[in-house]
Amino acid sequence: MSTSHASSTSLPSVPSDTSLPGGTWTLGDLTVTRFGYGAMQLAGPGVMGPPADHDGALAVLREAVRLGITHIDTADAYGPHVTNRLIREALHPYPDALHIVTKVGAVRDDQGGWPPAREPDELRRAVHDNLENLGVDALDLVNLRLGNAEGPQPGSLAKAYETLVELQQEGLIRHLGLSNATAEQVAEAQSIAPFVCVQNLYNLANRWDDELIDRLAEQGIAYVPFFPLGGFTPLQSSALSAVADRLGTRPMSVALAWLLRRSPNILLIPGTSSVAHLRENVAGAGITLSEQDLAELDAIGR
């Protein structure tokens, strides 16, 4: 089935044989591109229900693979079940080099909320739902989502994490990760069983995980920031836009390029429901930041 493309006249050229920005990283025994794709925006408004453009959603996923992306981030709670079924429809049987990362620990309610679902039976059901909807016998990587919609929350993860370890031992999960976790929870998980990534809110303006990122980098563990433009004040947004204007690019491109420069263990999962925007993100993340650019951008977080 052919993939539909937006007109390339106004888009950066990203040939399929061009290396993606940032190179690759190893998650356990899985080699992935540092520039990945987050599937969250493929669901309907509020991450609920089907997309308005079903064929367009399939085209985005196929274009991501055509561009060389080998890291797709998803969750069966998106929709719910929508993004995983789209991924299966668009890409199954999956290329050997493609690795799909999912997460469990939250579900959706009728109001569009994200109530926690971290009891052992809930986690087991979530893992089996992911297996079924993605059409695989084992999941490459499962992140345990902690905290709530307000962010990370203190508390032990032991019971939930040990459940995922059991599922890993049963052969249903290859690698484990954490999402929305505190530094204390990261340390607690490490005392129980190895994991290969931490997925938290982090960007130019929200840098409370700086120390954690550096510590994980020393241990060869990936850090996957979400909301690369989330929580900026108007002043911070203006400072970011000033650098982007000087470079003749978009603020999102500058934010992604800065994250790739921040640390080699940072993996990107920007999301979009548009083929054109996907190609812009890939090309934009490859911009070169000067020392002056970096100094101005670092000041935003301070």
- Residues designated catalytic: 78
- The Cα 12–Cα 1 span in angstroms is 25
Query: Whole-angstrom Cα distance, residue 89 to residue 85?
Result: 6
Residue of 219, 95, 102, 94 lying closest to 167 (CA atoms): 102
Residue 60 contacts residue 83 (beta carbons within 8 Å): no
Count of CB atoms situated within 10 Å of the CB of 29: 9
Q: Residue ranges of the alpha helices (H) in the chain?
A: 54-66, 82-91, 120-134, 158-169, 183-192, 210-218, 234-247, 251-262, 275-285, 291-301
How many other CB atoms are found less than 10 A from the CB of residue 263?
Answer: 14
End-to-end CA distance of the chain: 49
Tell me phi and psi for residue 229, to 5 degrees.
-125, 20
Q: Rounded CA gap, 48 and 50, in Å?
A: 7
Instruction: Give every CB contact of residue 294 below 8 A, 6+ residues apart in sequence.
Output: 258, 261
* DSSP character at residue 9: T
CA-nearest of 164, 148, 160 to 114 is 148
- The residues, ordered by sequence, that sit 6+ positions from 157 with a Cβ below 8 Å of its Cβ are 144, 146, 178, 181, 185, 188, 189
Exposure on the CB side of residue 246, measured as CA atoms within 13 A: 15
